[in-house]
Structure 1
């Protein structure tokens, strides 16, 4: 609904698809040294190749990454899709492997979407890390007492996480905003306080805030 109402393109997450195959692989019976790999293991080998391309292209520009994806990732995706189409019906319905295969096929159009541009991600791990504080907070205090409180909380989270996303140290950014916002009387002056416009110390240790 969010994508539809705002003209956004929904992109799937390969981490989610991979996790389902990992669970299926772990649940499969142990096999001997000469045993054939399970279908979950075969699927994981396909997915590992996709991540290998991303790792190799990590330092490239968006334009170069797009070219690499068109050249290398799309053929890998096509091969994986062909394998899924051929083998899904051979797996028992209701099994973890079948659920993983069905999920991947049902989400296929969004899972391949990251190849449409060079700046898109193969997984949404970054977004999930950004909203993890919300989930931890929700477990800690369960709910906001009023709708106004929920909106205020959302505003604070948005400011802090956007500052981190733009490489700023959060407490320094909030201090900067509180120090200068009273003097910002025009839209242009307010825009100078936005995280992508503020010139402040960089966030040195993302892990401690993640």
Structure 2
């Protein structure tokens, strides 16, 4: 809006004050526009991000188009005798651990020309990878009764124990149900439909009872896992929301799944990695205090205020996450192409390049390299951030991103002098991905008790995967033994203690 000449003051000082006021308004408006652009960009990424149905459909269409192009590129077999021989692609041999079924195609023993007998001089073998659908089976436990003709005594062995007392499901089926729900994200009603196609009717309520029975059976094992995790000197922690049915209100409420990861392999550690999930009906700060009551050491986590009370007293020390610190600059650069954000990303990237070189090295070596190389980069970054903060508006999103880093500087740089600490909290975020995938499929937990069951089974499956085990094979192994296993030796069934007894199941990889 332009002022009329007659309305402008004649006094020079008043005129300067008016100009300065208008400049301040324009500056404030520019920062508001920048903030709104960033907010709109964030909302668009949420609306049209990878998890949206619209983009999923577009990806599916592109994949179908690619599939059609690949199929169309395969030439039809020529019937002409003069056609050039087709080039045979070089393929990797099929895995040796797969069972082989030999099918012989033997010609007649008489020579087609003279009729004389023929002898074998060799053979050609061509292997084809085939698939046999999974099948149910019924195991009959037969217990003969033996009678003594002299004293008329009858002897019969006791029935073997079952994972679930008087239950019809064997350990293999129970393990398959658990892995299908909590690892492959198949809700129980879908599993029921799949089994019905095999001619086996198992209701969803029956499957739910089996899941609950397995939870109670393996609860002592999860308790042992929790003791192992919280005995570590360093943990990664994070949490994620989980919708939970709230029958009294006729809607869902928001529960939380917390994860605590023990993994020192990046620092050359030889102890087994493990992950512990805990469910809570809310996100109050007392939840992590309860979960970590027995823990002391380094806790690497985000800036959630509920963790703040844990650091009082010195029993638990904070290590912050550079991935979270980087995220604010990344979002700003994606939405506004800010050169300041771009430079911040480049400087943080240099820190990650150092980490890639020393991953897996002993803590002493990591600390020495970080002090020599990352230390100067961090000091330069700190001074640069302070300089940029003085130039930008305190209300801008760039100032918020810079403030996040500077206010947590001590926790963000603690990793430099301690080689056991990681640069970020990605170990915990990776552990939570399985929860995010499952949440998309089965939508919500049925109750708080359902959240506790999910946390327990996520813990066992996640730990098995961290130790390189097939989770279904591991759970089958546990369910076959845990009912008769002494509870004071339940640690013997933790994944790293049974790894040597489980047969490896390498993935089948084909390359055309």
TM range (shorter): 0.7 to 0.9
* Counterpart for residue 21 of structure 1: 329
| Greater relative CO (CA pairs within 8 A, separation 6+) | 1
Q: In the TM superposition, what is the alpha-carbon distance from 1:53 to its structure 2 partner?
A: 0.6
Deviations 1:76-103 (A, max 9, x none): 2222112212221211233332221111
1:74 paired to 2:74 = no
Q: In the TM superposition, what is the alpha-carbon distance from 1:160 to its structure 2 partner?
A: 0.7
More strand by share: 2
> What is the number of residues matched between the two proteins?
197
Structure possessing the higher radius of gyration over alpha carbons: 2
Alpha-carbon distance in 1 for matches of 2:493, 2:480: 10
- Please state whether the residue corresponding to 1:10 is helix, strand or coil: strand
* Counterpart for residue 98 of structure 1: 399
Q: In the TM superposition, what is the alpha-carbon distance from 1:28 to its structure 2 partner?
A: 3.4
Alpha-carbon distance in 2 for matches of 1:109, 1:148: 39
Residue 495 of structure 2 is aligned with which of 191, 195, 199? Answer: 195
Q: In the TM superposition, what is the alpha-carbon distance from 1:68 to its structure 2 partner?
A: 1.4
CA contact (8 A) 1:64 1:118 kept: yes
* Counterpart for residue 50 of structure 2: none
Alpha-carbon distance in 2 for matches of 1:177, 1:116: 41
Please give the TM-score of this superposition, normalised by the length of structure 1.
Answer: 0.81
- Please state whether the residue corresponding to 1:9 is helix, strand or coil: strand
1:164 paired to 2:465 = yes
Residue 448 of structure 2 is aligned with which of 122, 147, 155? Answer: 147
Query: Residues 29 and 131 of structure 1: is their aligned pair in 2 closer, same or farther, counting only changes over 3 Å?
Result: closer
- Please state whether the residue corresponding to 1:122 is helix, strand or coil: coil
Structure 1 unaligned blocks of 5 or more: 31-37, 206-210
Deviations 1:144-198 (A, max 9, x none): 222222211110001111112222221121112112212311422x111112322
- Please state whether the residue corresponding to 1:168 is helix, strand or coil: coil
Alpha-carbon distance in 2 for matches of 1:75, 1:171: 48
- Please state whether the residue corresponding to 2:318 is helix, strand or coil: coil
Query: Residues 29 and 14 of structure 1: is their aligned pair in 2 closer, same or farther, counting only changes over 3 Å?
Result: closer
Query: Residues 42 and 29 of structure 1: is their aligned pair in 2 closer, same or farther, counting only changes over 3 Å?
Result: closer
RMSD of aligned residue pairs (Cα, Å): 2.4
More helix by share: 1
Which sits farther off after the overlay, 138-147 or 155-164? 138-147
Query: Residues 129 and 25 of structure 1: is their aligned pair in 2 closer, same or farther, counting only changes over 3 Å?
Result: same
- Please state whether the residue corresponding to 2:493 is helix, strand or coil: coil
Q: In the TM superposition, what is the alpha-carbon distance from 1:29 to its structure 2 partner?
A: 5.3
Please give the TM-score of this superposition, normalised by the length of structure 2.
Answer: 0.36
Runs of 4+ off more than 6 Å: none
Alpha-carbon distance in 2 for matches of 1:169, 1:117: 34
Alpha-carbon distance in 2 for matches of 1:168, 1:94: 50
Deviations 1:119-145 (A, max 9, x none): 322122222111111123234333322
* Counterpart for residue 351 of structure 2: 50
Query: Residues 115 and 29 of structure 1: is their aligned pair in 2 closer, same or farther, counting only changes over 3 Å?
Result: closer
